[in-house]
Structure 1
Amino acid sequence: MIELLHQIEQIDTQIFLFFNGFHNVYWDYFMMIFSDRFVWVPFYASFIFVLLKNFPVKVVMSTIVVITLIILFSDQTASGILKPLVARMRPSNPDNPISPMVHVVQGYRGGRYGFPSSHAANAWSIAFFAQYLVRRSKLTIFLCLWALITSYSRMYLGVHYFGDILIGTLIGFLYATLYYYIFQYFLRKHTERFKPNHDIRFASVPIITGLVSIWVIICTSGILSFYSIPLR
């Protein structure tokens, strides 16, 4: 059993080093900015805007509370419980034997432990819950791509192994699924309009907002990398 775990850890390390190896100055800036949670505040706000335009205030407020709880529980499960319990050092941690092989961006190394990834848990919990809620293919695809790039950015920055991302994604999925069914149980009579065949107004707003945010990140990354302006 111990040997099997060691083999899995070795494979995990090789996968991480493979993805962490694709880097240049421009992508350093891009991934650093993309990984920042506050950059996506307009995107979150646009999603709330769509809910307000389509559903009763009670449903919208309940949705905001539920999403907050999902993120809170996902984050605390990852950062507050599992990270200190498992105590797996981040790849970027100077005490980690592989740290000399890790590409670190502008000195950013994160905390001491990295298993599992709270960024992945939070991003995928939002993506899964939103998919359950509105069930629109275009928005779902965008959210999955957003969560996927967010997850990859954590490996690119050298602060998480692939296994950290995988378990973080699983945590996000579990909490999103659990809270969605609890949400539906208590508000079923108010959420009939969430059915897939309902034409939700302004459904493209979050996608447009997200794409604009990405375009701003692309341009900002280009300017910062050209002038070598540090982010930290």
Structure 2
Amino acid sequence: MLEQLNSIDQKIFFFINNDLSNPFFDWLMPLMRNQYFWAPLYAFLIVFFIKEYKLKGLYLILFLLVAFGIADFTSASIIKQHFQRLRPCNDPALLGLVKLRIARCGSGFSFVSSHAANHFAIALFLIGTFYQRWKWVLPAALAWAVIICFAQVYVGVHYPFDVTCGGLLGAFIGWGVSQIRKNILPLDGVN
């Protein structure tokens, strides 16, 4: 059963990493997974939270950082260390088959994707916090997190199962932290 799941995971990986290969994605996808590319969005969120909610905005930032931190610690320090799955770009059995589209593969393990966990934690925290006020936050935040996950597979550093499970982990954490935030820190016009 596990071998069959691994085979399906590899087939989907090679479809995304090889078959969908094109010059536009080769340029775009490395950017989509780069934290520096998203720095203006993170800066906007910080400024928006503080400007819109004053002191409560600082607490919102704290809650968002808690969601991110739990997702990152759980994915990188607990799950990856337990499963120790090689990244596709580090797997000797796949040498020469994986198209690595970034400078280096990374030395960490693959399952689960911390990028996926972290960004889905942020996305679901934002959805859980702001959906009542702005319905567009749901498709925008989900699209953002999904694009980052897709990019992880496209550039060759994660399998689809890695990003799917990482995304589910992050979604659970982000949603949970947003619900705790609602009970501790109600916001005017938001819940």
Please say whether Structure 1 and Structure 2 have the same fold, judged by a TM-score greater than 0.5.
yes
| Counterpart residue identity of residue 58, structure 1 | L
Match of 2:28 in 1: 30
Instruction: Give me the TM-score of the superposition, normalised by structure 1.
Output: 0.75
The one-letter code sitting in structure 2 at the alignment partner of 1:17 is: F
**Aligned match for 1:114, one of 99, 110, 115:** 110
Residues 93 and 112, structure 1, Cα contact 8 Å, conserved in 2:
no
Cα 1:148–1:47 change in 2 (3 A) is: same
- Cα-Cα RMSD: 1.6
Displacement of 1:137 in angstroms is 2.5
Q: What is the CA–CA distance in structure 1 between the aligned matches of 2:103 and 2:37, rounded to whole Å?
A: 20
Match of 1:167 in 2: 165
Q: Is 1:15 equivalent to 2:12 in the alignment? A: yes
Q: Is the 8 A contact 1:74 1:125 kept in 2?
A: yes
Following superposition, the deviation at residue 44 of structure 1 comes to 1.4
Cα pair distance change 1:147/1:194, threshold 3 Å: same
Residues paired across the two proteins, number: 188
The C-alpha deviation readout for 1:31-53, integer Å capped at 9, x for no partner, is 11221112211111222333234
Q: 1:106 offset after TM fit, Å?
A: 4.6
- Give the match for residue 120 of structure 2: 124
User: Could you say which residue in structure 2 is the equivalent of 1:40?
Assistant: 38
Assess if the C-alpha contact under 8 Å between 1:115 and 1:164 holds in 2: yes
How far is the alpha carbon of 1:29 from its aligned partner? Answer: 2.7
In the TM superposition, residue 108 of structure 1 has moved relative to its aligned partner by 2.3
Instruction: Calculate the TM-score normalised by the size of structure 2.
Output: 0.91
How far apart, CA to CA, are the structure 2 residues paired with 1:12 and 1:154? 14
Describe the SS at the equivalent of 1:17.
helix
Q: CA deviation at 1:182?
A: 1.6
Mapped partners of 1:50, 1:107: distance in 2 = 34
How far is the alpha carbon of 1:112 from its aligned partner?
A: 4.1
Q: Give the partner amino acid of 2:101.
A: V
User: Are 2:112 and 2:166, in contact at CA under 8 Å, matched by a contact in 1?
Assistant: yes
Which residue does 2:65 correspond to in 1? 68
Of residues 83, 86, 89, the one that matches 1:89 is 86
The structure 1 residue matched to 2:2, chosen from 2, 5, 8, is 5
Distance 2:98 2:152 in 1: 12
Task: Report deviation, 1:130.
Answer: 0.5
1:171-213: CA deviation from partner (whole Å, max 9, x where unpaired): 111111221122122123xx24204xxxxxxxxxxxxxxxxxx
Aligned-residue identity in percent: 28
Question: 1:127 & 1:93 partners in 2: Cα distance?
Answer: 29
Residue segments in structure 1 that go unaligned for 5+ positions in a row: 196-232
Alignment check: 8 A CA contact 2:128 2:179 kept? no
Higher alpha-carbon Rg: 1
Q: Which amino acid counterpart does residue 128 of structure 1 have in structure 2?
A: L
> Taking structure 1 as reference, are residues 112 and 184 closer, same or farther at Cα in structure 2, changes over 3 Å only?
closer
Letter paired with 1:88: R
Structure 1 residue 72: deviation in Å? Answer: 1.1
Q: Distance in 2 between matches of 1:14 and 1:118?
A: 22
Unmatched segments (≥5 aa) in structure 2:
none
> Any idea what the Cα deviations from partners look like across 1:73-128, whole Å, max 9, x if unmatched?
11111111111210100110042x12322111154212241100001111111111
Aligned counterparts of 1:133 and 1:112: Cα–Cα separation in 2: 32
